[in-house]
Amino acid sequence: MPWSHHSHSGQFCGHAAESLEQVVQDAIAKGMTTFCMTEHIARSDLDLYPEEAERHNQASLAQLYDDFYHEARRLQKAYAEQIQLFVGFEGEWIRYGEHGSSKIIYGLLEKYEVDLFIGSVHHVHTIPIDFDTAMYHKARETAGGSDEQIFEDYFDAQHAMLQNLQPPVVGHFDLIRLKSDEPDRSFKAWPKVWEKITRNLKCVFDYGGVLELNSSSLRKGMKESYPQVEICEAFLAMGGRFTLSDDSHGIAQVGLNYEKVLHCVERAGITELSHLVPSTAKSSTDPRFPKVQWAAVQVADLKQHAFWTKSQR
């Protein structure tokens, strides 16, 4: 029964490992029942990461996504009797204007019939904030020099993304803390930051988005999954929905640290998690994705699944 709604593979992502098919096979071997293949989208030539600059441009990244899409659809059919696979992308909010993120993402939604997409923010003031510490510090200086200031700017950028795109799944909601001086600190220590967080959560709730509980923070040394428990508590109080994601970048990370995520789930008081399923006639809640809908599972039932005993996580 465990699921992931956010994943990558070395075949289509320069900082991941193994082929997409190997990742799918590993998810099956570990007992997963739902797995979403969500590769990164093409970005403007202005926004290539250092690892991409020598071998890619926007056109080649667009071709890479096209190759991914067709391979993912092939796998979806090939493994249909073993696992429920869905195909989408991770959309990145970086900039406005001619090279704007919304233009790129809406172009993808027009060209490809995807099942979902992840709405993510990896940049503040167009500078990557999770690539390495040096770039985070550069972004922080641009924001004014403090973690508090860049946190405010990050959640403002996220709010713009939420309003413009209304992503069905909101990715690693508080990613901004990764390279900060105190990544496990409470956001409530900064009232203006917390106000922006609750504003964004209300936006997600109002349009019906789902917040992913992303385990990747745990493998990067943090104490809680994305988002922190205090954020989960606030979204839960609004009536918000949550799902599971491993944000895996290869088979070593598929389902990794899910037991620790469950500890965070229980501490936040979350008793129900949601996952994608194929829709029945007229049952989809988002007209952009008519072939899928969300189904709820009790956390108590989820914990009884064979996934937890197949191998140590």
Give the pLDDT confidence of 104-139 residue by residue, as tens digits: 999 999 999 999 999 999 999 999 999 999 999 999
Question: Does residue 312 register a pLDDT over 60?
Answer: no
Question: Does residue 55 register a pLDDT over 90?
Answer: no
Q: Give all domains of the chain, ordered by start, each with its CATH number.
A: 89-310 (3.20.20.140)
Q: Which residues contact 305 (CB under 8 A, 6 or more apart)?
A: 1, 2, 31, 33
Give the pLDDT confidence of 260-269 residue by residue, as tens digits: 999 999 999 9
Give the pLDDT confidence of 129-187 residue by residue, as tens digits: 999 999 999 999 999 999 999 999 999 999 999 999 999 999 999 999 999 999 999 99
- 218 within 8 A of 261, measured Cβ to Cβ: yes
Name the phi and psi angles at 85, rounded to 5: -105, 145
Structure tokens at 19: 């082929």
User: Mean pLDDT lowest for which of 86-90, 102-106, 220-224?
Assistant: 102-106
